[in-house]
Amino acid sequence: MNPRHDVDPHEGQGTSHEPTPTIWPVGFAVGIACIFVGLIISKVVLVVGAVLTAIFGFLWIRDATRPFRGEEAPAEAEPPPARPRPPGTRATGPDPGEGEVVRFPRSKFLEATTLGLGGLIGVIVTAPVLGFTILPPFIKQGHPKVDVGAIEDFPENKYVIATFMLKPADGEVSRRTAYIRNNGFLDQSPSFTILSNRCVHLGCPVQVNGLPLAEETKTEKTATNTVTRIPTAAAAGFGCPCHGGQYDTEGNRTAGPPVRALDRYKFEIVDGRLLLGNTFSVSEVDGTGADAKIHTYPLAGPGQHVDGPEAWLYPVQPPR
């Protein structure tokens, strides 16, 4: 016979032979650990540890001395009484029938502790791994400003095809193309139209519907970047080779599947040099050149509407 079954489940309860079950030693141990860690790294942790130790030590002592002080132990779930095994039967396996197992309150505590600690360890291990998988794509996604040349390199009212590395540290994989048109001056300040060449249908590279003057290509090496500028003659707009999207010279969609106008780069002029900043999205452009009215939105991915009811499908954009 299994010796477990000979034990009276109520033995030790209500007598002073064994302490009543209590959870406070866990907190007490955490407090001690904090004291040791605090001794090494910080006084704040030391104080926190001392406070925890004092509180949980007091609670533990209060629980442990309860029988001596004549108080009733807190009610425990009564274990089912052990049924005596019928004579002549024998255990069929290592684990006798489920209902016959004597369950001590302590075993319940151990069960809960094992499950709880196991779950906690699982979370502690899984959370950083999941975060490492998912979070880096959303952190530090910006890019430095890109110097694409002096203002004089961009003739008025002609598109120039400029290619450059958006993040020189990433190398050629970050190479981008922008279509840059010098619109002359608007109220004494220079005006540029700078279109991203990424089609707003699904991100293919749109091409100039016109004549790139390849023999006039200029390549300029800056400190961190290599910029190529190809002037164009008579650009009548832009077209995408993948699915046939068409845009006019302001980047407005004229045909095909794109859902808005071409994205644009913010720009600034420092010491006569044209610097490209972040991109933003445009629903449409009224007018042309320096007088155009541009309906701007925060950058959205290709194929995503920025205005109208369809834009409700994309209420939050990842940080850029």
Kindly list the residues in this chain that would bind another protein in the complex (CB under 8 A).
Answer: 133-134, 136-138, 141, 166-167, 170-174, 202-205, 242, 300-304, 313-318, 320
- The string of DSSP codes covering 178-207 is EEEEEEEEETTEEEEEEEE-B-TTT-PBPE
CB-nearer residue toward another protein: 3 or 137: 137
Shortest separation between residue 166's beta carbon and another protein, angstroms? 8
Query: Locate tokens 């955490």: which residue?
Result: 30
Q: Which is nearer to another protein, 46 or 204 (CB)?
A: 204
SS3 18: coil
- Of 265, 263, 254, the closest CA to residue 300 belongs to 263
Asked whether 128 and 136 are in contact (CB, 8 A), the reply is: no
Q: Which is nearer to another protein, 36 or 138 (CB)?
A: 138
CB of 148 to another protein, least distance (A): 18
Min CB(230)–another protein separation in Å: 19
| CA within 13 Å, CB half, 130 | 6
Q: How far apart are CA 67 and CA 187, in angstroms?
A: 90
Smallest gap, in angstroms, from Cβ of residue 129 to another protein? 13
> If we measure between CA atoms, which residue out of 18, 25, 87 comes closest to residue 58?
25
CA–CA distance, 262 with 178 (Å, rounded to integer):
11
Min dist. Cβ of residue 93 to another protein (A): 17
Compute the least distance from the CB of residue 47 to another protein, in Å.
42
- Report the DSSP beta bridge partners of residue 114: none
Report the residue number, 124 or 313, with the smaller CB distance to another protein. 313
Instruction: Kindly tell me which of 52 and 200 has the beta carbon lying closer to another protein.
Output: 200
Looking at the Cβ atoms of 181 and 260, the one nearer to another protein is 260
Residue type, 292: A
